Amino acid sequence: MNRSHPAPSSAANAARRARRLAQLDQRYVWHPFTQMRDWLRREPIVIVGGRGATLYDARGREYLDANASIWTNLHGHREPRVDAAVRRQLGKIAHSSALGLANEPAALLAARLVAAANGSAGRRPGAAPPLAKVFYSDDGATAIEVALKLAYDYARRAHGATKPRFLSLAGAYHGDTVGAVSLGHIDLFHQRYAGLLFKSDTVMAPYCYRCRFNRARPERADARDYRRCRWECLDQVEGRLAAQQRRGEAYAALVLEPLIQGAAGMIPQPGGWLRRVTELARGNGAAVIADEVMTGFGRTTPAQPTGGERRVRGDLFACQREGVRPDFLALAKGLTGGYLPMAATLTTQAVFDQFLGEYGEFKTFFHGHSYTANQLGAAAGLASLERLQAPGAQARRQRLAGELEQALRDLWALPHVGDIRQVGLIAGIELVRNWTTRTPFALTEQVGARVCAALARRGVLTRPIGNVVVLMPPYCTTASQVRRMVGALGEAIAEVLSRA
């Protein structure tokens, strides 16, 4: 782990400073999703710098940022062009209000986001209308909150709905504000707040590895590839949508993460599922809210197909991989390349038009945040989009996805690896007690957390979701860094689970 070797006196200074910062943190900072009693038991890693895929701590140690700083970072840390764009913007102004004022980078970014989000999807006849408007906010949760409120009011205004309801997927996670939590179905996080939430309905997600309809025995391969089923998951979605419509009021929206559910445990959808459920939603009167907070901005770029028989499209969003166009598109994490908190909810002209009227009709969308359309964030977002769409950038992501795929193959040799799920530059490795039976570890064993701690000791940082270890490298990650991430993960699994 000690890959840099500062001189002894400076090392002692660094250690003192690291301890001081860690003490301040432990005295004053309450960390998200963290059992603080455990946190206070050991000195935390204090990050003081980064470059590319590498993070540096206050003691001078180096780590690979294997989950892209909780899925936000795209190009690596201190990407020179994003750095420069933020500095240039600082030379003008950091922030001005979007209440009553427009600004340069936010206007430019909105135009580019709309163009990128429409991309090559849905040009075919009968395609859903394009996305046309951008509502800015600050985080993934607020982007979802905005989509939720817009869809709710749209259902009432356009369709005369009296009690708009929402359908979302089992295990869904859409953020931690009360509206976003209401759409979520992770009992561990959400049940505590049941009294605060509105009711939303849930339908099974296609989790091939643990699907009750999958009759295949486990193999050493992605369960999507060897599953044996009759797409019962689609029947379930259709059943829910149709039943709601028969009750007289269609769902206001079906809410989903396209191609892969993230915090649910990195659960990927078999090819065709997304396109089909979108058709089912529309056919049953429901709008589609696509939460691309994790999947957006090139994360799902597939590896170049072997033989190159099929050209991979250059689209940046997961929906576009199946030619799907949502009515609402929520973006956040990667929007600024991982630099600043900023989010956007894109929607159609038809939704926008429902909010037009004379002032006194009070059809205004009464929602906003103080930092909405933040100029620094928008400048970072523009520079990040430019990097994503630069010549060669797509090919580079495809190469990295291929390198990740290649490296992950070695992990099948480990008996406690049950499933390896990859969608582009997102991977989840599900650890099980016994791969032949898929028997899970109890959550209280904290297997994922222990493996990640062993991984950190090897200079690789990521966080688990229960028993699923996540790898989500920044796009600048080199082939040898990918091999180091995955190699260290193999060692960590072997170390922690050798006696399990």
Ligand X SMILES: *Cc1c(COP(=O)(O)O)cnc(C)c1O
Residues forming contacts to ligand X in the complex (CB under 6 A) are 139-141, 144, 173-175, 257, 262-263, 291, 293-294, 332-333
Q: Which residues contact 321 (CB under 8 A, 6 or more apart)?
A: 258, 259, 274, 300, 302, 313, 315
For ligand X, which is the closer residue by CB, 22 or 294?
294
The CB-of-470 to ligand X minimum distance in angstroms stands at 11
Q: How is 325-377 classified by DSSP, letter by letter? A: --SEEEE-GGGGTTSS--EEEEEEHHHHHTT-S-GGG--S-----TTTT-HHH
**Would you state the structure tokens that stand for residue 422, as one six-digit string?**
């990859």
The CB-of-174 to ligand X minimum distance in angstroms stands at 5
Q: Which residues contact 282 (CB under 8 A, 6 or more apart)?
A: 128, 288
The CB-of-262 to ligand X minimum distance in angstroms stands at 4
The CB-of-343 to ligand X minimum distance in angstroms stands at 7
**Would you state the structure tokens that stand for residue 33, as one six-digit string?**
């999703």
Q: Strand 253-256 to strand 166-169: parallel, antiparallel, or no bridges (unpaired)?
A: parallel
For ligand X, which is the closer residue by CB, 424 or 459?
424
Whole-number Å distance between alpha carbons of 112 and 351 = 20
The CB-of-139 to ligand X minimum distance in angstroms stands at 3
For ligand X, which is the closer residue by CB, 140 or 326?
140
In the complex, residue closest to ligand X by CB: 140
For ligand X, which is the closer residue by CB, 175 or 418?
175
The CB-of-452 to ligand X minimum distance in angstroms stands at 18
**Would you state the structure tokens that stand for residue 149, as one six-digit string?**
């409120």
Using alpha carbons, select from 293, 325, 372, 355 the residue that is nearest to residue 135. Answer: 372
Using alpha carbons, select from 237, 243, 264 the residue that is nearest to residue 183. Answer: 264
Whole-number Å distance between alpha carbons of 83 and 380 = 8
For ligand X, which is the closer residue by CB, 263 or 497?
263
For ligand X, which is the closer residue by CB, 376 or 411?
376
For ligand X, which is the closer residue by CB, 340 or 461?
340
For ligand X, which is the closer residue by CB, 264 or 432?
264
For ligand X, which is the closer residue by CB, 60 or 140?
140
For ligand X, which is the closer residue by CB, 371 or 435?
371
The CB-of-91 to ligand X minimum distance in angstroms stands at 28
Amino acid type, 357: G
Whole-number Å distance between alpha carbons of 319 and 269 = 12
The CB-of-342 to ligand X minimum distance in angstroms stands at 10
For ligand X, which is the closer residue by CB, 151 or 417?
151
Containing H/E element for 131? Answer: strand 131-137
Cα 352 versus chain centre, distance? 26
Indicate the Cα dihedral angle 409, 411, 414, 420, nearest 10°.
-90
Q: Which residues contact 209 (CB under 8 A, 6 or more apart)?
A: 223, 418, 419, 421, 430, 438
The CB-of-318 to ligand X minimum distance in angstroms stands at 10
Whole-number Å distance between alpha carbons of 405 and 425 = 9
The CB-of-378 to ligand X minimum distance in angstroms stands at 17
Amino acid type, 47: I
- 8 A C-beta contact, residue 429 and residue 471: yes
- 8 A C-beta contact, residue 111 and residue 311: no
The CB-of-381 to ligand X minimum distance in angstroms stands at 14
Whole-number Å distance between alpha carbons of 112 and 276 = 28
Whole-number Å distance between alpha carbons of 499 and 497 = 5
The CB-of-180 to ligand X minimum distance in angstroms stands at 7
Whole-number Å distance between alpha carbons of 464 and 446 = 9
For ligand X, which is the closer residue by CB, 263 or 351?
263
Q: Hey, which residues does 440 pair with through a beta bridge?
A: 432
